[in-house]
Amino acid sequence: MIEGIYYCSTQKSFKPVLADTLIQNNENTLKLLLNVSKSNENIKIYAEKNLNAPNIVKINDKRVSTKILMLSLPCTALSFGSENIINQPSDQRRSFLDWGTFHVEPTHLINYKNYVKTLKQRNSVLKKGADQNLDYWSELVANHGMLVHESRLNYFNALKKQFSSYIDKLSEYDSSVYSDIKNTEIDYKQGWDINQSLKMSIDQSLSKDLALKYTSKGPHRADIMLSIKSLELKNISSMSTQIIISLLLVLSQAEVFHVKHGFKPIILIDDLFFGIDDKNLRLVINLLVGSKAQCFITAPDLYKEKIKSLGRAAAEVKMYEFVDGELRED
């Protein structure tokens, strides 16, 4: 279900796989219809994914772009367990950063597309081992790259502020967890030497890039770094701690979105209880309920009773299950 919601928002799978894998075996098409009730309107989203034909996306029976789709149904997603944000490859963290940037910086999408286009052109010249037009493409990569970097950095600073606020709030929910992660630092690694301009860094890397046959410096190498006392969290923290911090990042992202738009995006979480012990279950549910965002969560049946035992927090949770292909409230 949450895969369907996410695809209706982004035309992608929220897992690091091709959207083609959402189509069942021996089928060529995936068709989805989603009815969305907003405070001031109801919209109908139709999405069709085809293996052998162009994809189709409509809102209220009118074809729309992916950009309009994402703005109409903003969804942010998180997989628990080993696929949490901290353990994911850097390209997934860049995607997380770009999703947030796109929703608060209107020009980010076109700047990003221009950067990717010129980066591919420069890499194509590098693969040929020639420097024909290389200066031209290097200049364009640097110009478009700086626009991407500036919008990302502005967004990251807002995200970092909200993340710090959530860390402080954690002391109200669970003092022991707060003690474990209160010194967590979040930093933005821009993808080249911070003491150089992007153009200078690209120019100085020319020999290296010709040998590698690709561009080694730029925003496409950016990353979000999470650490405690200069030690990367992915190397020193437990799975449960990584999941809590990943959740705080998603909630911070939702809060930055709320500041810009006045409402929260939908939060989708897959395998909620993978890697979460009973001690942190109450914390996770309290954080999600306290966020005031609409959340869709998948979890095994055996966790129903655990959630029901959480008292007041559980009263805010509605449970559903699929029975004979139909979604029914428990």
SS (H, E, C) 252-283: HHHHHHHHHHCCCCEEEEECCCCCCCHHHHHH
Instruction: Answer whether 141's CB lies under 8 Å from 201's CB.
Output: no
In this prediction, residue 320 carries a pLDDT of: 80
Q: What is the pTM of this model?
A: 0.89
Q: Which of 147, 7, 149 is nearest to 66 (CA)?
A: 7
- The set of long-range contacts for 192-201, using a CB threshold of 8 Å and a minimum separation of 24, is 192/217, 192/218, 192/221, 193/217, 197/142, 198/142, 198/145, 198/146, 198/149, 199/138, 199/139, 199/142
Whole-angstrom Cα distance, residue 119 to residue 164?
A: 34
C-alpha 217/C-alpha 202 separation (Å) is 6
The long-range contacts involving 235-243, CB below 8 angstroms and separated by at least 24 positions, are: 237/86, 239/81, 239/82, 239/84, 239/275, 240/275, 240/276, 240/277, 240/280, 241/177, 241/180, 241/181, 242/84, 242/86, 242/87, 242/275, 243/80, 243/81, 243/84, 243/275, 243/276, 243/280, 243/284
pLDDT of 219 reads 98
Provide the pairing of β-strand 184-189 with 223-228: antiparallel
- For each of the domains in the chain, give its residue range(s) and CATH number, in order of start: 1-72 (no CATH), 74-329 (1.20.1050.90)
Are the C-beta atoms of residues 46 and 57 closer than 8 Å to each other? yes
Q: Is residue 192 within 8 Å of 218, Cβ to Cβ? A: yes
Tell me, what amino acid is at 4? G
Regions of the chain short of the pLDDT cut 50:
none
What per-residue confidence (pLDDT) applies to 1? 79
Helices (H) and strands (E) in the chain, counts: 12, 12
CA distance 239 to 86: 10
The whole-angstrom separation of Cα 216 and Cα 191 is: 9
Task: From 288, 289, 296, 278, select the one nearest 248 (Cα to Cα).
Answer: 288
Amino acid at 78: L
Q: How far apart are CA 133 and CA 121, in angstroms?
A: 10
Q: Which two structure tokens, joined as six digits, stand for 74?
A: 């903003």
